[in-house]
Structure 1
Amino acid sequence: MADTTVKVDSETRDRFAAVAAARGQSVRAYLAELAIEEENQIKLSKATAVFREIIARPGLAEAFDEAFPDDAPARRNTAGRAA
């Protein structure tokens, strides 16, 4: 892959260098890893939002329990207990 130059102020460059050194990495390796981690966080955030939207749908848990009765959690008898 061809190299390119990214211009940042010297303070930012020094901070990247310090973090990379603390991790035992070159700045190049640190920035490559950082980019991958950030891409993964974006994907995880999107997946989390979709998951939360899906599980919030009314009746989903009941439909799952009906479809997989052997895997449904045992229901606890909560009659007579304060909420």
Structure 2
Amino acid sequence: MEYRVSRPHQIGPAVRDARKKLGLTQGEVAQRAGVSRRFISELEAGSRPGAEFARVLAVLGALGRELRVADAPPASRDLFENE
């Protein structure tokens, strides 16, 4: 399954769905990624918008996922011009 992420809080559903698909608890993912269970919980809830990128990548790696960068459609590019 692929997720389009254009805002920091949108990574949460991708992490949660991948974790559940693998049948893992938040604690198990946290242990594999070298982060706290609280970090996983907050990341999934979208309440870690400033989460350290390396930690997010570690979580994705622990779930067998990767981050891909692709050209965004013109409408998506406009989202960040007003911030």
TM-score bracket for the superposition, by shorter chain length: under 0.3
Give the structure-1-normalised TM-score: 0.27
The structure that has the greater radius of gyration is: 1
Q: Which has the higher helix share?
A: 1
**Normalising by the residue count of structure 2, what TM-score does the alignment of the two structures yield?**
0.27
Specify which structure has the bigger relative contact order, considering alpha-carbon pairs within 8 angstroms and separated by 6 or more residues: 2
